[in-house]
Structure 1
Amino acid sequence: MKKWTTIAFTAALAVTVTACSSNAGNPAANAGGAGADPGGGSGQPVTLKIVYKDEGTSNAASVKFFQELEKALAKDEGLDVKFELVDLAQGSYAENLNLLLLGGTIPDIIYFQGGDQQMAEQGLLEDLTPYIEKSEHLKTILEPHNQTRMASYPYLLWIKPLAPKVPVVRADWFEAMDSSKALTADPSVDNYYAFFKELAEKKPGSGKPSYALTAAGDIAEINTIFNAAFGLDQTWIKKDDGTFEYSRISEGEKEKLAFYNKLYKEGLLDPQFITKQWDTKEDAFYKGEAGVITGTAGKIIDLYNGRMQELGGESAKLVVLPPAKGVSQGFGATDVTKESRGLAISSQSANKEAAFQVFDYLASPKGQMLDRLGYEGENYAVVDGKIELNDNYYNNWYARFWEPVEIKSEIPLQTPLLGEPGAKSLELASTFYTEDNSFIIPEQFVANWDAMNNLYKEYSTDFITGKKDLSEFGAFVDAWNAAGGADITAYANETIQ
Structure 2
Amino acid sequence: MKKLTAILTAAMLMFTVSACSGESASTSDSKKGTIKLVLKDEDPSNPATKKYFSNLEKALKKDEKLDVKFELVQMPQGNYAEKLNLLLFSGDIPDMIYFQGGDQQIAEQDLLEDLTPYVEKSKHLKSIMEPYNEKRLKNYPYLLWIKPLDLKTPVIRSDWFNQLSSSKTLMADPSPENYKAFFKELTEKAPGGGKPKYAITAAGDITEIDSIFNMAFGINQTWLKKSDGTYEYAKVSEKEKAKLQFYSELYKEGLLDQQFATKQWDTKEKAFYDGEAGVITGTNGKVIDIYNGKMTQVNGKEAELTVLPPAKGEFQGYGPTDISKESRGIAISSQSKNKDLAFKVLDYMASPRGQMIDRIGFEGEHYKLSGDEIELTEKYYSEWYARFWEPAEFETEKPLKTPLLSKPAEQSAQLARDYYSEDNKVMLTEEASAKWDATENLYKEFSTDVITGKRPISDFEQFAKEWEEAGGAEITKYVNGKMK
How far did residue 151 of structure 1 move? 0.7
> d(CA) in 2 for partners of 1:237 and 1:27?
46
TM superposition shift of 1:149: 0.9
SS in 1 for 2:262: coil
Matched residues in 1 for 2:291 and 2:456: separation? Answer: 37
Deviations, residues 43-75 of structure 1 (Å, cap 9, x unaligned): xxx1x2322222223543333212221222222
8 Å contact 1:157–1:343 — kept in the other structure?
yes
Aligned residue among 302, 326, 332 for 1:345: 332
1:84 to 62, 71, 77: 71
Are residues 1:304 and 2:302 paired? no
Amino acid at match of 1:474: E
Indicate the residue corresponding to 1:6 in structure 2. 5
Q: Which residue of structure 1 lines up, in the alignment, with residue 384 of structure 2?
A: 397
Structure 1: distance between partners of 2:317 and 2:236 = 20
Q: Distance in 1 between matches of 2:405 and 2:217?
A: 32
Contact 1:225-1:331 within 8 A present in 2 as well: yes
Task: Identify if the C-alpha distance between structure 1 residues 25 and 16 changes in structure 2 by more than 3 Å, giving closer, same or farther.
Answer: closer
CA RMSD of aligned residues (A): 2.4
Could you report, residue by residue, the CA deviation over 1:379-407 in whole angstroms, capped at 9, with x for unpaired residues?
33444544343433333322111111212
- Relative to structure 2, which stretch is displaced further, 4-13 or 140-149? 4-13
The correspondence for 1:239, drawn from 216, 226, 231, is 226
Give distance in 2, aligned partners of 1:204 and 1:185.
21
| Residues 332-381 of structure 1: CA deviation (Å, up to 9, x unaligned) | 11111111111112223332222212101111111111111222333334
Contact 2:25 2:338 in 1 (8 A): no
**2:99 — aligned with what?**
112
CA contact (8 A) 1:4 1:122 kept: no
Worse-matched range after superposition: 263-272 or 366-375: 263-272
Deviations 1:281-339 (A, max 9, x none): 22222222222111111111111101111111111111111111111111011111111
1:135-179: CA deviations, max 9, x gaps? Answer: 222122112111111011011111112230001111111122222
Equivalences for 1:38-437 in 2 at 5 Å? 38=33, 46=34, 48-57=35-44, 59-205=46-192, 207-437=194-424
Q: For 2:335 and 2:454, how far apart are their aligned partners in 1?
A: 47
- Determine what percentage of the aligned residue pairs are the same residue: 60
Looking at structure 1, the residues matched to 413 and 9 of structure 2 have their Cα atoms a distance apart, in angstroms, of 45
Residues 30 and 352, structure 1, Cα contact 8 Å, conserved in 2: no
Q: CA deviation at 1:100?
A: 3.1
Q: What is the identity, as a one-letter code, of the residue corresponding to 2:218?
A: G
Specify whether residues 8 and 294 from structure 1 end up closer, same or farther in structure 2 by C-alpha distance, changes over 3 A only: farther
Is the Cα–Cα contact under 8 Å of residues 25 and 339 in structure 2 kept in the other structure? no
CA drift at 1:203:
4.2
Task: Give the structure 2 partner of residue 440 of structure 1.
Answer: 427
Distance in 2 between the 1:428 and 1:172 partners?
21
Cα separation, 1, equivalents of 2:190 and 2:14: 56
In structure 2, the CA distance between the partners of 1:18 and 1:376, relative to structure 1 (3 Å rule), is farther
The AA in structure 1 aligned to 2:404 is L
Which deviates more, 222-231 or 385-394?
385-394
Structure 2 gap ranges (5+): none
Q: Secondary structure at the match of 1:160?
A: coil
Q: Distance between the aligned counterparts of 1:281 and 1:173, measured in 2?
A: 18
Determine the C-alpha separation between the residues in 2 that align with 1:3 and 1:222.
Answer: 39
Q: 1:117 to 1:314 in 2, by over 3 A?
A: same
- Correspondences of 1:18-57 after superposition (within 5 Å): 20=19, 24-25=22-23, 30-33=28-31, 37-38=32-33, 46=34, 48-57=35-44
More off after superposition, 426-435 vs 2-11: 2-11
What is the distance in 1 between the residues matched to 2:29 and 2:264? 41
Q: For 1:444-463, what aligned pairs fall within 5 Å after superposition?
A: 445-463=432-450
- Give the secondary structure class of the aligned counterpart of 1:467: coil
- Distance in 1, matches of 2:383 and 2:346, equals 23
Q: TM-score normalized by structure 1? A: 0.90
Quote the offset at 1:236 in angstroms.
Answer: 1.1
Matched residue type, 2:443: Y
Counterparts of 1:238 and 1:426, CA distance in 2? 29
SS in 1 for 2:282: strand
Q: From the superposition, tell whether residues 357 and 323 of structure 1 become closer, same or farther in structure 2 (CA, over 3 Å).
A: same
- Paired with 1:235 and 1:29, the residues of 2 have a C-alpha distance of 45
Say which SS state the counterpart of residue 274 (structure 1) adopts: helix
Code of the aligned partner of 1:5: L
Which deviates the most, 222-231 or 414-423? 414-423
Q: Is the Cα contact below 8 Å between 2:24 and 2:337 reproduced in 1?
A: no
- Number of residues of Structure 1 aligned to a counterpart in Structure 2: 484
Unaligned runs of 5+ in 1: 39-45
Return the offset for 1:11.
5.5
2 CA distance for matches of 1:52 and 1:290?
32
Verify the 8 A CA contact 2:25 2:336 in the aligned structure 1.
no
Kept in 2: contact 1:218–1:273 (CA 8 A): yes
Give, in whole Å, the separation in 1 of the partners of 2:449 and 2:243: 14
Q: Distance in 1 between matches of 2:266 and 2:39?
A: 16
Q: Is the 8 A contact 1:226 1:324 kept in 2?
A: yes
Could you state the TM-score of these two structures normalised by the residue count of structure 2? 0.92
